[in-house]
Amino acid sequence: MVDLKEIIGLDLPDTELAEELAAFADIAAAIRRLRMLDLTEIHPVVIYDPTLSYRSRAS
Amino acid sequence: MSAEPEFSPIAELAPRLRAGSLSPVALCERILDRIHRYDSRLESYEHVSESALGQARRAEAEIRGGAWRGPLHGVPIAIKDNTLTADMPTTAGTRAPGIEFPLVDSAVAERLRAAGAVLIGKTRTHEFAWGTTTPPTRNPWREDRIPGGSSGGSGAALAAGLCLAATGSDTGGSVRIPASFCGVVGLKPTFGRISRRGIVPHSWSLDHPGPLTRSVADAAILLGVMAGYDPADSASRDTPVPDYAEAVAGGVSGLRVAVIRNHFFERNQPAVDQTVEAAIDWFAGEGARVHDVQLPSLEYGLGAIFAIELSSSTAYHDVSLRAGRSAGFAPDVRRLVQFGRFVTGADYLKAEQFRHVLMNDYARLFETADVVLGPTEPITAPPVGADIVALGPHRESALAATWRLTYPYNLTGLPAITLPCGFDDNGLPIGLQIAGRPFDEATVLRAAAAYEKAHAWHEQRPPN
């Protein structure tokens, strides 16, 4: 079985990882609430601009 | 006007500097002397410029020669220590070995220098701007209280008369939180209004540079200088910069004011609610058309800001994490930087979808309103070392409490200002927050200036 630490890329001792996960609990709850929303039809506020590199070169 | 120039608004000092009745060199010497006398207690500065007096001498010579550059000419201004400067080191508040930043001017520093400002020093930031307490800086109103953060050094230095204005950056509230806790004005403009070039990134789509000032008129002056298009910042918008100094002259009669009753008035200290309600009543009494609204989607905002801010800061610090350099971060910051690994890609994008919902909700709100009023902070400055804040029966982490009322305007990128509107029984300042439509800082400043003029809370000073 793949190790959780490998998936998240944090090479912490088991006890420390357990502490981090416990400390994350309140934040995880807030994110779980967000996951409950149905936003299927909503475009994320991430705009891909293919001209970006050309704008920077013009400066 | 305050007799001491260090507590006078720039708008009042500028004519004296221009006329020669106040010397930039004398003003700079006075500020440096105050830093020397008081900052060992407050620890608001990370670095004081060796070239400050030289900058002041140049400004004095230029002004005497008739080459006045504008209201910031010869004015000592502090720069947040996550904002690059060519003549002063930048640490971003970290002591971690192996992390260095270049000696180049950020867009903010470039613009302030071009306006003739004396860049007097670098003010402390919470490490990598990831927190709202800014250790070891103390609050000048009560030294057992935090100054807020992450621009806590800027707030404390300004409140204590150790600079005439300061810069900050605001990712979840980092200009407005310390401004509120330290009893000064803090302006987070619209995303894209001020270039982020040369500010150490925290969360790319949430970071907003902005000024902390002694008055609303001063915020208008600094915004006018700091704002403008920068093709080197992908988020910068090529939008006209109006004359903000003109904007602050108007009143509030006829202004349409919305008050969001959920979220912003749910878990506040009673003194905050009473003081902000009195401010809202003042607007109504002056002829503003005040109405209450609800914005139910705000209940999902905390998850969204955490998902975006955690994953962004982890991405930025990824190399440090993998190289083990994050072991040198303060424990609270190291933990937050590691937390980004627990946020999935789907969570991040869902948060960006949610932002669209919230932006649409605010756009609808602004169909019938010109500004939104509310508290900046649910609490006044908490004690140093308090990780948990008690609000009646509720217990909340200091981070969650202090950015609860500010982060909606980072998620939406809308302009928002805080200005003092009273004090609690402990003598700690309370902030009033006014937000507006995208790129309509002028209306936000107008509403704030009218309130400030009628109350003059900004003339209060902390004890020595």
Distance from CA of A2 to the nearest CA of B (A): 16
pLDDT, tens digit, 9 for 90 and up, residues B115-148: 999 999 999 999 999 999 999 999 999 999 999 9
Task: Give the three-class secondary structure for B255.
Answer: coil
Question: What pLDDT is recorded for position B2?
Answer: 54
Q: CA B88, CA B163: separation in Å to the nearest integer?
A: 16
Residue of A nearest to B235 (CA): A52
Q: Is B235 on the interface with A (CB under 8 A)?
A: no
Give me the percent of chain B exceeding a pLDDT of 70.
99
Of the pLDDT bands very low, low, confident and very high (cuts 50, 70, 90), residue B276 is very high
Say whether A43 and B306 touch across the interface (CB within 8 A). Answer: no
In degrees and rounded to multiples of 5, residue B194 shows phi and psi of -115, 135
Of the pLDDT bands very low, low, confident and very high (cuts 50, 70, 90), residue B150 is very high
Whether pTM exceeds 0.90: yes
Residue of B nearest to A39 (CA): B353
Of the pLDDT bands very low, low, confident and very high (cuts 50, 70, 90), residue B1 is very low
Q: Is B302 on the interface with A (CB under 8 A)?
A: yes
Distance from CA of B411 to the nearest CA of A (A): 10
Does pLDDT of B439 surpass 70? yes
Say whether A21 and B342 touch across the interface (CB within 8 A). Answer: yes
In degrees and rounded to multiples of 5, residue B292 shows phi and psi of -85, 145
Please choose, from the candidates B347, B346, B330, B350, the residue with its C-alpha nearest in 3D space to the C-alpha of residue B338.
B330
Complex ipTM more than 0.95, yes or no: no
* Residues of B with catalytic roles: 80, 150, 174
Rounded average pLDDT over B414-423: 98
Q: Are B206 and B309 in contact (CB under 8 A)?
A: yes
Q: CA B156, CA B149: separation in Å to the nearest integer?
A: 10
Cα radius of gyration rounded to whole Å, chain A? 19
Does pLDDT of B308 surpass 80? yes
Distance from CA of A43 to the nearest CA of B (A): 6
Q: Are B74 and B56 in contact (CB under 8 A)?
A: yes
Q: CA B70, CA B49: separation in Å to the nearest integer?
A: 22
* Torsion of Cα atoms, B310 then B316 then B318 then B320, to 10°: -110
Task: Give the three-class secondary structure for B156.
Answer: helix
Does pLDDT of B165 surpass 70? yes
pLDDT, tens digit, 9 for 90 and up, residues B297-307: 999 999 999 99
Q: Which of B322, B338, B400 lies at the smallest CB-CB distance from A20?
A: B338
Say whether B355 and A45 touch across the interface (CB within 8 A). Answer: yes
pLDDT, tens digit, 9 for 90 and up, residues B223-263: 999 999 999 999 999 999 999 989 898 899 999 999 999 99
Does pLDDT of A52 surpass 80? no
